[in-house]
Chain A
Amino acid sequence: MKDTLIGGSGRAARDTEDTLAAGRTAPANPGPGTDTDATALRRRRRVELTRPWLLLAPALIVLAGLLLWPLVQVGKLSLQDYEVKFGGGVGTFTGFDHYADLLTSGLLWKTVLPNTVFFAVACVGLTIALGTLVALLLNRLGTTWRLICSVAILAAWAMPAVTGTYVWIWLFQPQDGLFSQLAGAAGLIDPETTNWFTERLPFYAIATVNVVHHGFPFVAITVLAGLLTIPKELYEAGMIDGANAWQRFWKITVPTIKPVFLVVTILSTIWDFKVFTQIFVMPGGNGSNPDVYNLGVFSYIEAFAKNDYGAGSAAAVLLTLLLLAITVVYIRTLFRQGEEEL
């Protein structure tokens, strides 16, 4: 480090003066009340006030322009009939018509919302259960096997959503897919006529396997980190008291690392509500089969396939509000447990 300090850029000499004035003159110079002291102090204050904002400015501008402003826009679009005309789009204010249409449509209540909610609940439940079981397993393994299993889990986590979904489609492909052939050989289905992707339940069952496969590693690794912080004495005391493994898990593990479970549950809920790609690239998921719409896909199809940007935006706003509500719970949880020192 010293080397890097010595061999430096030409800017250093010029800047040194600046720092001396800004940071060090005041404490180095014991004489109080002189003019230079006051200027230096004022200057230091100013630097302390402006520097963090200067550092933050580029990132905040990008976030505001590309994440916050579009959110305002999508709210505005949801109150308009937006048409693409020659040379640009024209919006006509329609008030809450799109919301009224959306909230009174049978498709929303009979298909879109049930698909979204039941799918998310199934995914979260299975992800947490499997993740916790795997964490408990990893906790019992020796170093070598724990490393092997961790790498395997990371590989599942790293599988991109798009390619991961393709593999699951291929595995369940009618006729040729591995599971279609196995189920056909076992006499469970007729592989010539069965297509698992055309009906809602099998479609979402496959999507659930896909999302759980992609999502449980995060839970397993986070819960394992929590398990490692639990003092062994607690379990020894539990065993002396005659508690079996099941009781030790529910009476010791769960209460001790409850905050970890809360965080992984809420984060999984947020992620699983907004699953889009894994549904969209599945056969029929891109709009050709309305039975399998979830809220995200529904919004996308309305906007980009039917060119009804207003209606699509209204559905998108609904999804955003849902997620925002869960996010508020998440942030309150973080604060209450004081784990995140902001």
Chain B
Amino acid sequence: MTSLATRGPARRIGLGAAVAALLVFTLFPVYWMVSTAFDPKALTRGSDLLPSGVTLDHFQLVFERGNFGTYLLNSAIVGGATILAAAVLSLFAAIAVARFRFRFRTSVLIMILIVQMVPLEALVIPLFIQMRDYEMLNSLLGLSVVYIALSLPFAIWTLRGFVATVPKEVEEAAYIDGASWPRMFWSVLLPLVAPGLVATSIFAFITAWNEFVFAYTFMKGSDKYTAAVGIYQFFGENSTAWGPVMASSTLVTLPVMIFFVVVHRKLGSGLAAGAVKG
């Protein structure tokens, strides 16, 4: 592209200004969140760009008085269960649609594409009633089951691409060596799709970690809140303690951000077909 650009100083300044604007717009909210979390005078910082100091008080408060450790643990448990189940189920399903040609294959794929467009608001009412009938409200297991279902369509759709890139010849070589299908799967296919599987699983984890509607509706006992719902409790009707809110937001956001930046490259075009946003 540089060969096309006539590199005058005006153009360079324009480009620099655009980059600066982009960086400010994308990163300023993150900076404001983190700096408020550490600011001892968070509530009255007003328009001071730099925090008035650095303190861990807000973090201490959310753990000691806000029970945030429990919420984070709940989120981690639900996320862990979602990862495990979604990885296994989506890998099997992805192999089926990527490796086999069978009747209704296209219909299955289109159905998977359609169900992930369904709004959560439409699912939360019947699932709430269903879960209440099974006495699964207020249970981490009940919530995990819902998240597994929510993360499956995207996981299948993405993994399908990873399975398809493994050359068939590699599988055939395993058969010639006398391996059965399960053996081939375990020793050949699984190690080759492992990077994709890890990336997809992390996305399933992020889905569960970020989700709000179901956790808010299902979890009525405060010992069962997930982190996303836990922060909501720090909001007051008229005044909000922004230091603790931003401290807990930081704790929820940073792991997701790090994971996301790390795995994004691996997912590539799969993102175009799947719905990553909540």
Contacts and interface: CB of A to CB of B under 8 A. Distances in A.
Contacts, number: 333
Contact of A141 (B15, B112, B271): B15
A53 B259 CA distance: 33
A281 interface: yes
A197 to B, nearest CB: 12
A276 B121 contact: yes
B272 A163 contact: no
A88 B134 CA distance: 10
Given A59-B156, A142-B2, A70 B123 contact: yes
Interface in A145-170: 145, 148-149, 151-164, 166-168, 170
A134 interface: yes
Q: Which of B44, B110, B272 has the most CB of A within 10 A?
A: B272
- B contact face: mostly helix, strand, loop, or mixed: helix
A236 B43 CA distance: 55
Interface residues of B, number: 112
Given A89-B129, A154-B264, A160-B228, A19 B180 contact: yes
Nearest to B239: A176
Contacts of A277: 212-213, 278
Given A166-B231, A300-B124, A62 B149 contact: yes
Given A88-B133, A158-B257, A222-B271, A178 B242 contact: no
Contact of A12 (B180, B191, B261): B180
A160 B230 CA distance: 14
Interface string B239-251: 0101001100100
B27 interface: yes
Contacts of B4: 232, 235-236, 239
Contacts of B158: none
A217 B256 CA distance: 16
B76 interface: no
3 smallest A-B Cβ distances: which pairs? A15-B180, A158-B260, A66-B149
B215 to A, nearest CB: 10
B89 to A, nearest CB: 4
Q: Which of B121, B132, B269, B277 has the most CB of A within 10 A?
A: B121
- A contact face: mostly helix, strand, loop, or mixed: helix
B61 interface: no
A188 interface: no
Contacts of B210: 160-162
Contacts of B182: 11, 15
A59 B93 contact: yes
Nearest to A28: B176
A66 B149 CA distance: 6
A77 interface: yes
Contacts of B152: 59, 62-63
Interface residues of A, number: 120
A48 B105 CA distance: 13
Q: Which of B44, B170, B245 has the most CB of A within 10 A?
A: B245
A331 B112 CA distance: 12
B50 interface: no
A67 B245 contact: no
A8 B188 CA distance: 11
Contacts of A160: 209-210, 228, 252-253, 256, 278
Interface string A264-306: 1001001101101100110000000000000111011001100
Interface stretch (A33-41, A99-107, A318-326): A318-326
Nearest to A235: B4
Contact of A331 (B25, B110, B253): B110
Interface in B169-205: 170, 174-183, 186-188, 191
A141 B26 contact: no
Interface in A216-247: 217-218, 221-222, 225, 232, 235-236, 239
Nearest to A217: B26
